[in-house]
Structure formats: structure tokens, C-alpha cells
Structure 1
Amino acid sequence: MTDRPPTEELFVSVCIADPEGEAAACIPVLHVLAARLAERFRYWEILLGIPAESEHHYYELASRIPNLRLLKIRAGTPFYRRRVAIASEAIGDAVVLTTPSELSIVDPVRALEMAAGTGSIVIGRLGGSHALRRALRVLGRGAGFRVDPRDMQTVAFPRTLLNMLLAHPDRTLAMRFPPSDSAIPVRWINATGQSVRRSLSATEFARRLDLMHRLLIASAPRVLSTLAMFSLLVVASAIAYGIYCVTVWLIFSKVQPGWFTISIVTSLTTGFLGSAVFGLSIGIQRLIDLLSADLNEDIVDEIAAVDLFGRAVRELNIEIAGQGAEPVQGGARGGEASAE
């Protein structure tokens, strides 16, 4: 516990995309989280994504956990898309995305304070090494993201950077691994209390495969750029070979029958295919550049019992004292204001 008073000027949001268990199992975890937030911040909220088809199991949470917002997520929505949907509904000045299993090893309060104080994205990181770390970092660099398999799902954002990432063309990846952009500073905090990696469940393994698939798709623009350059080299080689064939046919009097015909047809075919691949590559690149982000319609409803600012109205007793003037609600041009 800390003796510091609650932070007055900062409004924070904690987003949990997956409850990871039954509603009854979430109550102790959320109680501890709510107590930690109330101890350090005056204004805060917890956003919990729940399955829309089993929403009635979670109604009890709204009455037992203060400042809790239950967001019903459309059935079949992928995990990382749920994270984006929940984060887009947060209204805090600093927002942290986390999971119940990581709350005990990464302090969300510390991550929120660091993100708000430094203006950086703060990511929880596990210790040790990873066998595929180098390969994944190369793949991430090709896709334009800072990928490290040691990075956890607990990520804190200041509001400015969160808005920037929500507008990113591939925001599902950008909310998990920050883009390789010097305008987006990143810091890390080490996880505590867990030195041994847990065995992957089937769900977690499927999520990682989906993440790898998205990284491969995200690298498409750079792959297309490389393919376009290679196609230009093929076209140039085909033109050079065609010139060589014509030169041989004109200079030498004795040429193997059929050689010129086969060679010039090969040159023309190769040049046409190279030009076609080049045109397709730059055309698809243009479509990717023009592609706009789709509308987020994954959240179908919200259940909330949050009274954030009513408390402030009750605590701030503002009284307008003027000489011979009646109190005026909302302020006055003259007079002296005193607050208790």
C-alpha cells in the first residue's frame, strides 16, 4: 500500500478484453484491481469485454465492482480485434490493455503512471530468452512493427498515442506491437513473480498463430515492393537478351535453325510476364495505400453503473459570495468565490 493521496488530474482506464473464466472467478481479481486503482487515482474505470451470448452471467459484476463497464462483444470476434474494440471505448487520459492472468505479475498502476508521465507506450516484458526471437524480430521489422516474443499483452498508452494507433491501417497489430516509428516512444517494465513460462493452452496457441499470420499479411507492402523491383530486373534482362538475339542473327551468317525464333519468343514472353507482375505489384500497393480502416461495430451494447463525476459535484461545494448579491449558479462576473 502507499500513503500518497489519489491523483486528482489523471483519469485512467483499464481494459480487459477477455475475462478468462466464469463470472464468479472474475470477482476477486476485479476487486483487487479496483482497490489498487481507487488507492492511487480519484477518477478511473474498468472496461471488461464479455460474450454477448452469455451476458446474463456477468450482470452481478456491474453491481459488485465500482466503476465497471461491461461491454458485450459480438460472438466470433477475434481476440486482438476485441482488444481494439475495448480500447476504442475507453475515455481515460491513460489506458492500459491487460489480461487477468497478467495482473499479478505486471502492475497496471505503475504502467499507467509511467505512460502518463513519460508520454510513452509502456509494455510488460518477461525475462529470459526465446528461441525464435531473432526470426520474429526480422519478421516484425519487415512488417513495420517492433516485435519481441518476450513482450506481454499488458500495454499502457497515453491518450495521444492511443488515438494515433487506433487510426493505424493495421490497428490490431499496432495495439499489440508498436509500429517502428520514431514518433512513438516505447518503454518496458519487467514482470515480477513469475520466472517460469507457462505451457501454452490451445486457445493461446491459436492466438499466436493468428498473430503470426497477421504479421505475414502486414509485410505484404514490403514484399510487393521487392517483387516489383525484381520484376523490373526481369524485364531489363529480357530486353537485353532480345537485343543479344537480334545482334547474333544480324552478325553471324550461320545460326542454328530455330534458335533465333525460340530465343526471341522466350525473351518476349519473359518481358511480358515481368511487366505484368510489375503492374500487378504496384497496383496492389496502390490499393493498400488507399485502403481505409473499417468501421468498428464489434460492440453491440454496454452495461454500466459508473458515476464518475457525480462524486466530484458532491465533494466540491462551491459558494459565490457577492456584496448584497444573491448566489448565482454557474458563477458570477463579480464577487468572490470560496470553496470548501
Structure 2
Amino acid sequence: MHEPIAADFVKQREDTVVSICFATPKANAKTFETIRKVAAALDEVYRFRETILVVEDHHRDAFLPLVEDVRDVRLFVVRKGTEYYERRVIAAEEAIGDLVLIAQEDEVADLDVCAFLDHAESANAIALANCGKRQPIKTLLSAPFIALGRLAGFAVYPSDFQSIAMPRTLLNHILAHDEPRLALRYPPRDPRLPTSSFKASNEVSSRGAFKDIGRRMQLLQTLLVYLTPIILSAVAISSTILTLLGLGYAAWIIGAVIVVDTLAPGWLTTNIMLAVSAVFMGVSTLGLSLGLQHLLRGQNREKGERVSEEVNRIDLFGKVAVDLNVELESEDWARKNGGFDPQTKGSAG
């Protein structure tokens, strides 16, 4: 006869809905196995769990067997070329859980996701995973990103994993941020968005200093675009200084004309003015260019639907009501039967 163990008496949590989101899953057997493993680990602790996958349209069919094999999987299809940060926002916007984990499959493969989510919930903070080790080369290469991140108001640290967990309230604040794409990867320096570090047991081999160069270039561009107001302010200040210097230089020329009888040819004056004009035009053009990029990115965010298709739609809220044996009395039914009664009908089992 099977001897009972402590795990046999552990009841699944029914007070929390968990959403785990894979924004850039690869269409291979290793990724599929990781998703199955993570879903099984969550099912042991949480009764209500959804898994969100955001895939490009040409990988849609490859994920269909996974949708059929793992329960409560929602598959969202986006157009080819949708950038990494944008896909994370799409996944976060579609999540309905009280706890949300934006996961990178190679990181969560060896990460205790239940402990990670519990850490975020207990601390009521944005949980950032890292192994506590610093690689000198990676830190050196990341120095410009860290500096730009500080100027832009983001906590950009190379040691942090891409996986991030947080309660629903904090996720709502992040999605309301001016730049949610960056905020979902590097939390803003905001007292309303506390962060907490979660110690991972192992470093991830795929997080090398020279990998994902294209993604780092996207990050650099996004940081520069977000810094547009600061750059434009610097341009305004430099323009004012240059204007004052120009006026002072003009006054000096007038004084020279009055005081000096014979002036040398204007070669020096012409070249100095050309140099000043070139510097001014260069900085001004940079500021205008970044400003236009900022406006264009804002317009792209406000455009219509970015998700072309949801392959497997699930009614998780309905499932919660059925599983907990809760029946809600509708307002229409109450009106037909002599008025509205705010009390609900049924019991929670």
C-alpha cells in the first residue's frame, strides 16, 4: 500500500490565477519540452494557470500540437519581423493572471518558477532573476547601456535575466508607462514600481556578452529615442549659448572695426563661423531626427490590432466559476423577477 507523503496533502492554490508568457519561443523540441515542464510545475501549485505564446505567423503550425497537448494554452500569431520588445508587450497585455511571468524559455528551464512567482507576490514587487555573478567583459560592454538607462530612468543591469515576474497591479503600471517595451525588460526607477532580486542557481549559457547583437542595437536605439526630450533640451541650451557667443563675436568684430585701422583678410573669421555652424547644425539635426523617431514610434503604438490571430481561445474566468461551483445571478434575470438583488446566488465549493 502506498504510504502517504506530505505532498499528497498539499492543496492547489485557488485564490490566484497565474499567467506565464513566452514572447519569443523557438519552434523546436527543447522549447516545447520546457513549456510542458513549466506548465506541469505550475499546475502542482496553482489550480488556475494560463500559458501565453506569441509566435510569428510562419511558425503557427509548429505550435499547434503543443496547444493540443498542454491545457489552457493561448497562442497568439503576429506578423513576421515583430520586434522582441513589442512581442513582450503583446504577451503582457493579453495576460489575465493575478501573477504574471514574462519568461525566456532557456532561463526558466532551470529556474524554479513557482518560487520566482512566490517571491514576486510576497515582496509585492517586480522580481528580477540573476545568478549574482558578474562577467567583466559583459559589464564593460554594457556600460553605455547602463549610463543611457540611468539618464532615461530605467534600471538597466547586464546581470539581470530577461525573465521577469510581478503582480497584476505593478504590471498595469508598467503597461501605462510611456515606453512599456523598455519597462517590461528594465523596470523604471519609480517608487511605485519596487524591484526585488531573485537568486538563480545557474547562469544561462545563451546570455553571452557577444550574443543578440541585433537586440542590443534595438535597445540602444530605443534608449536614444526615449532620451529625445533631454537631447532636445541640450540642443536648446547649446543653441542659446551659441547665439550669445555669436552676438558677442559680432560685438567684438564691430569693436575691431572701430579700434583697428587695418584688418587682416577674413579667413580666420570665416572658418571659425563655418565650424560653429557645422557643430550647431549637426546637433540640431540629431535632435530633430530623434524627435521624429519618437513621434513615429508613438504613432505605431496607437495603431490597430498587432495580433493577427488567437489560435486557441480559452475562457479562464468561466472555468474558475465552474470549478469553484459559483453561479452568478444576472441583472436581467433580477429585473424580470421584481428588481435587482445585489447578492449573488450559489455557493463556493
> In which range does the TM-score fall when normalised by the shorter chain?
0.7 to 0.9
| CA–CA distance in structure 2, aligned partners of residues 338 and 276 of structure 1 | 70
Post-superposition Cα deviations, 1:12-64, rounded to whole Å, max 9, x if no partner, equal 21000122232x44443222212221222222210012231232222222221
In the alignment, is residue 221 of structure 1 matched against residue 229 of structure 2?
yes
> Hey, what does 1:82 align to over in structure 2?
87
Contact 2:19 2:51 in 1 (8 A): yes
> Hey, what does 2:149 align to over in structure 1?
140
Residue identity in the other structure for 1:171? P
Q: 1:51-62 to 2 correspondence within 5 Å? A: 51-62=56-67
Residue identity in the other structure for 1:72? V
| CA–CA distance in structure 2, aligned partners of residues 70 and 178 of structure 1 | 26
3-state SS in 2 of match to 1:152? coil
Q: 1:190 to 1:265 in 2, by over 3 A?
A: closer
> Hey, what does 1:297 align to over in structure 2?
305
Structure 1: 5+ residue stretches without partners = 321-327
TM-score by length of 1: 0.79
In the alignment, is residue 206 of structure 1 matched against residue 214 of structure 2?
yes
Identical counterparts, % of pairs: 28
In the alignment, is residue 237 of structure 1 matched against residue 245 of structure 2?
yes
Q: Which has the higher strand share?
A: 1
> Hey, what does 2:17 align to over in structure 1?
11
1:225 deviates by: 2.1
Post-superposition Cα deviations, 1:145-201, rounded to whole Å, max 9, x if no partner, equal 111111111011222222222233322222111122232211111221x24744759
> Hey, what does 1:28 align to over in structure 2?
33
In the alignment, is residue 256 of structure 1 matched against residue 256 of structure 2?
no
Q: 1:210 to 1:300 in 2, by over 3 A?
A: same
Give the CA RMSD over aligned residues.
3.9
> Hey, what does 2:170 align to over in structure 1?
161
| CA–CA distance in structure 1, aligned partners of residues 327 and 252 of structure 2 | 91
With 232-241 and 102-111 compared, the bigger mean Cα shift is at 102-111
Contact 2:48 2:320 in 1 (8 A): no
| CA–CA distance in structure 2, aligned partners of residues 272 and 50 of structure 1 | 47
| CA–CA distance in structure 2, aligned partners of residues 275 and 26 of structure 1 | 50
Q: Among 111, 114, 121, which residue is 1:109 paired with?
A: 114
Contact 2:130 2:197 in 1 (8 A): yes
3-state SS in 2 of match to 1:151? coil
| CA–CA distance in structure 2, aligned partners of residues 81 and 138 of structure 1 | 23
Post-superposition Cα deviations, 1:217-270, rounded to whole Å, max 9, x if no partner, equal 3333323322322222111111111112222333x25242555x9859976995
| CA–CA distance in structure 2, aligned partners of residues 6 and 123 of structure 1 | 25
| CA–CA distance in structure 1, aligned partners of residues 166 and 194 of structure 2 | 10
Aligned positions, number:
327
Contact 1:238 1:268 in 2 (8 A): no
Q: Among 180, 189, 195, which residue is 1:180 paired with?
A: 189
TM-score by length of 2: 0.77
